[in-house]
Amino acid sequence: MKVKRYIGNDPQETMLKIKSELGSNAVILHSRKIKKPGFFGFMKKPLIEMVAAIEENKEKPERDIQKGKLTAIVSNPPHQEGSKIDLLQNQIGNIENLLNNVLDKIGYNQDDKGNHQEALYKKYHDLLVVNDVDPQIADKLLTIVRKQVSFTEDNEEAILRTIRIAVREYLESPETIGDNFEKKRIIVFVGPTGVGKTTTLAKLAAKLSITKGKRVGVITSDTYRIAAVEQLKIYSEILSIPIRIVYEPNEINEAIEAFSDRDVILIDTAGRNHKNEEQLEEIKTLIKHIIDPEIYLVMSATTGNRDITNIIKSYQFIENYRIIFTKLDEAVTIGNVLNAKIKTGKKLSYVTTGQSVPDDLEIAQPDKLANMIVGEFHE
């Protein structure tokens, strides 16, 4: 059994190091927070230490080096992507040694090698930024990737795969509404204007009602837009779901009581300008009147990075929430999905990919999103 200690700035980074070196079958034996070394270490955020182990493969590759060529015979070659990455990274050290010997013989300058690595780093950093990944987050990702993979032209496929793994790990598994309806659940949708909260609510209402057979009630406080109320009324009639309208925050409890026979209540709020503190105060007041709400912050994938950052700051008065991203079908790039996940530390939940109710609502799968963020690199 191979046992090794890993240290990272956060659990995701540490787990990525373990998976990249030991593979997805590694077992975590121990984890703890440790202080950074040095006199001022106690003033800084603690590091994460994990001890991981994996059973070593007894059938080791038989290597034969003849006439300057490296051949490897591997029993039962892996077919899973993760296994291929593990094998690739285990062989990188030997390949690099051979390359270095050749480069020494032909007088290759180490400074040129370092410059070439930096050029590749800049290439992938620029590609991430072009895909709307925040520059600081791009630096964080590539710093992790460079520790796992050598930045050379011959290794670009491995670089791409490792970037994709890093993105996927940071996106994490989504948290959805799920199937636990032992008690009545009250779900509130908040977010800026024009992101599609009302349509998203209708999609979830349809899925819960039709697919899961739940008794759904809808409440809207978005009385600023007549069209929003009428839109929900039409959906409610089609789905045979009752709807109530509240005009003041203190009316919300009466509306909730009226749905005492419902399994789940979905509450639509008015879209608020995230720059207007007075409008946001109305949302705060409404939420305070609700006991144990589940809150979803709805944002559009077409929104720019700076605006996404400002929206996140504006809604930081909400302690716990999940994230829904709309309009993935309209977005040229979706790096903001990753930005929002890392900056908030909150879980992704759903994404929407069109106007069709309820079909264009999907669970935010990290594999699919990572491929969308990194996939353009191949073009």
pLDDT at 88: 61
**Does 240 fall in a domain?**
yes
More confident residue, 228 or 193: 193
**Does 263 fall in a domain?**
yes
The separation between CA 339 and the C-alpha centre of its own chain, rounded to angstroms, equals 8
Q: Find out whether 264 and 187 touch, Cβ atoms under 8 Å.
A: yes
Spatial separation of the C-alpha atoms in residues 364 and 176, rounded to whole Å: 9
Residue count (the chain) = 379
* pLDDT at 65 exceeding the cut of 50: no
More confident residue, 140 or 225: 140
Question: Domain total for the chain?
Answer: 3
Q: What is the mean pLDDT of the chain?
A: 81
Domain containing 281 equals 185-363
Spatial separation of the C-alpha atoms in residues 46 and 40, rounded to whole Å: 12
pLDDT at 17: 85
**Domain end call among 59, 76, 108:** 59
Q: Render pLDDT for 245-302 as a digit per residue (tens, 0 to 9).
A: 998 888 999 999 999 999 999 999 877 665 567 778 888 899 999 999 999 999 999 9
In this structure, the answer to whether residues 304 and 155 fall within a common structural domain is no
In this structure, the answer to whether residues 220 and 327 fall within a common structural domain is yes
Where residue 78 falls among pLDDT bands split at 50, 70, 90?
very low
In this structure, the answer to whether residues 236 and 341 fall within a common structural domain is yes
In this structure, the answer to whether residues 161 and 100 fall within a common structural domain is yes
In this structure, the answer to whether residues 203 and 352 fall within a common structural domain is yes
pTM of the predicted protein model: 0.70
Burial group, residue 186, by CB count within 10 angstroms (0-12, 13-18, 19+): buried
Q: Render pLDDT for 222-259 as a digit per residue (tens, 0 to 9).
A: 766 666 678 888 888 888 999 999 988 889 999 999 99
Spatial separation of the C-alpha atoms in residues 320 and 17, rounded to whole Å: 29
pLDDT at 68: 40
Pairing of strands 27-34, 47-54: antiparallel
* pLDDT at 38 exceeding the cut of 80: no
In this structure, the answer to whether residues 153 and 201 fall within a common structural domain is no
In this structure, the answer to whether residues 318 and 249 fall within a common structural domain is yes
The CATH code of the domain that includes 216 is 3.40.50.300
In this structure, the answer to whether residues 204 and 347 fall within a common structural domain is yes
Instruction: Match 């927070």 to its residue by tokens.
Output: 33
Amino acid symbol at 364 = A
More confident residue, 200 or 63: 200
